[in-house]
Homo-oligomer: A and B are copies of this chain.
């Protein structure tokens, strides 16, 4: 994700003295304690605050006006960056896919060279994401259904490319049969996402989660190995 870090704070030694009184205790002043007309990176601030709110209270409870209040801008300001509420949610989902993809990638890269170890690490990373950001994951999947947004689709595809590469390795190692990688990948993806769905849906006690992940991966491997 590219973040335009345009921060005029360092080049604003003489800010205009606008004595707008803000009763709320939010940090709506810059480093000099002066209110600034232009926020500088409202878009980023909105996304960050929105991610916090979604994590704590879910996407349904996300309000553009409350977001603006928390950040300390007027209720119309977010509109300059997101034409409507859904656009903000889509951007949030897209950032979520980027982060998920990065975490999956990191899990693979940090798990050595062996296929099974990598697979387990990847699954664990996915489930970790699902437990820590259940509402965000739900949002990511919900956003996909509604509008087939091309950019969102691409973001998702990039995030899940890690799985496909893993499958390739598994086949090269002889651990997986020779169906097309995306066919095997779909089964793996469904398995992992299913566990995530049980987690986000609260339909499984968290202390049974590790066992479920281990069982599912083991069964996936047993079910996918070449028929000798």
Chain B residues, CB < 8 A from A201: 141-142, 144-145
Copies assembled: 2
Give the most central of A60, A191, A194, A200: most B CB within 10 Å: A194
A216 interface residue per 8 A CB criterion: yes
Within 8 A of B (CB), among A174-228: 179, 183, 186-187, 189-198, 200-204, 208, 211-212, 215-216, 218-224
28 contacts between A and B (CB under 8 A): A58-B146, A60-B60, A141-B200, A141-B203, A144-B203, A145-B201, A145-B202, A148-B202, A156-B203, A186-B208, A186-B212, A186-B215, A187-B215, A187-B216, A189-B194, A189-B198, A190-B194, A190-B198, A190-B212, A191-B191, A191-B194, A192-B194, A193-B198, A194-B197, A196-B197, A219-B223, A219-B224, A222-B223
